[in-house]
Amino acid sequence: MKEFKDSELVLNPNGSVYHLNLHADQLAEHIIVVGDPGRVPMISAMFEKVDVKVQNREIVTHTGWYNGKRVTAMSTGMGPDNIDICMNELHVLATWDIQGKKMLDSPRKLKIVRIGTSGALQKEIPVESCVASVAAIGMDSVLNFYEGNLEMVGNPLAVEFAKFTDWPQILSTPYAAEGSKYLLEKIGKNYLQGITLTSPGFYGPQFRDIFIPSAFPELQQKIIDFRHQGMFVANLEMETSALYGLGKLMGHEMLTVCLIIANRALGEFAKDYKSNMKNLVEEVLHGLTK
């Protein structure tokens, strides 16, 4: 029987997982994750009924019913490090009997869709369109700390990407993971599909030259020019690689759909994207629960 030290699987005094502050019965099998805590009540306002409202730091969770199915909306905060926390604790809730300290006889396979905002890298992707991520390439290092990392670093997509871009050795080795074919067919077929590049930051790591010049000024154009099996790197954001990589290792279904609010190639930014975000949420909710 697997055992965890108290310092490894950290629980709150009430038995909930430490960061999410949730019990297993408060989590649905169908989950929408967002970065912005303020987006969670916007999503749950569309539910037919809300059963659970929990908040701890930037992690806000609302669980309720939509289209006759139980759904959880959760904010993760920004960045792949936050995804590392949330995915591990979601996996605990889905697969582990906390009280009995054993694996569940019937662990749950979660269906998780990230709805986010991101910047397009290609000129032909218009602001206020949506991109479904067929696969993600990670510039972060989260997955490199897990057994199974060699498979993702050795993924042909990651290998070809590193070779084509002359990836600087001082940076973390890129890794790659695919999204859920099931969710891509169920939800993602309605949108432009492409490869998503995940960054560990917003300014320098996304090649924004504000005050400190980029150490690799030529890298962004190489990324734009990269092609793999007819696909290009469509967009750049901060969560999907960790989501896809951990989801693959844990055995859950993962998909990211991002609203494009900037086109980096053209220097454009959406003036007001809230109505488009609401439309995207409604479409994903319908697709996830139909």
Domain 24-289 has CATH 3.40.50.1580: yes
pLDDT at position 164 is 98
pLDDT per residue over 58-114, tens digit each?
999 999 999 999 999 999 999 999 999 999 999 999 999 988 889 999 999 999 999
Q: What is the DSSP letter of 189?
A: G
pLDDT at position 1 is 59
pLDDT at position 272 is 87
Distance separating alpha carbons of residues 252 and 246, to the nearest angstrom: 9
Tell me which residues of the chain have a pLDDT lower than 70: 1
Q: What is the DSSP letter of 174?
A: P
pLDDT at position 59 is 98
Please give the model's pTM, rounded to 2 decimal places. 0.96
Burial class (CB in 10 A: 0-12, 13-18, 19+), 38: exposed
pLDDT per residue over 100-124, tens digit each?
889 999 999 999 999 999 999 999 9
pLDDT at position 5 is 85
Among 198, 208, 187, 190, CA closest to 253:
187
Strand-pairing partners, residue 56, are 59
For residue 9, count other CB atoms closer than 10 A to its CB.
17
Alpha helices in the chain (DSSP H): 39-44, 80-95, 149-153, 156-164, 181-186, 219-225, 240-250, 274-289
Torsion of the alpha carbons at 112, 117, 118 and 122, rounded to the nearest 10: 100
**E strand intervals along 130-230:** 130-138, 175-178, 192-198, 227-228
pLDDT at position 22 is 98
Distance separating alpha carbons of residues 120 and 2, to the nearest angstrom: 44
